[in-house]
Amino acid sequence: MTTFTQVILYTDTDGRARFRDEEIPLTEGTPASRLSQVQAASGVQFRQSPVGFRSQMHCTGAPQWVFILGGGMEIGLADGSSRVFLAGEHFYSADVLPEGATFDPSIHGHWSRQVGNQPLVTMFVKG
């Protein structure tokens, strides 16, 4: 069976953001064009961030797909690790603040920044 690799940024049981890979089965379509089941979405939003952009630590408000359309984006976690996503790459952002928690940037969420010499262009697909 063919699969699509979904990179997920999520909140672990200890409240910290982490990355994991999860496979989405491509069970539909034809041998020449394998498809997943249809995924729910409520809207699409585009963003352009200039060279030098960097956010503060934050949690994702609601789970969403993030597709890098241009430039590069680095996502950093409170544990000091980070991953870079370049144009054509994607991840599923689901590191929401745990229910009942008060945001603590030393534990929760992630930061993002533009990398490279091109503006960062992203498309958010809301769940």
Using CA atoms, how far apart are residues 103 and 15, in angstroms rounded to an integer? 10
Q: Tens digits of per-residue pLDDT, 37-56?
A: 999 999 999 999 999 999 99
Q: What is the pTM of this model?
A: 0.90
Q: Which residues of the chain have pLDDT under 70?
A: 1
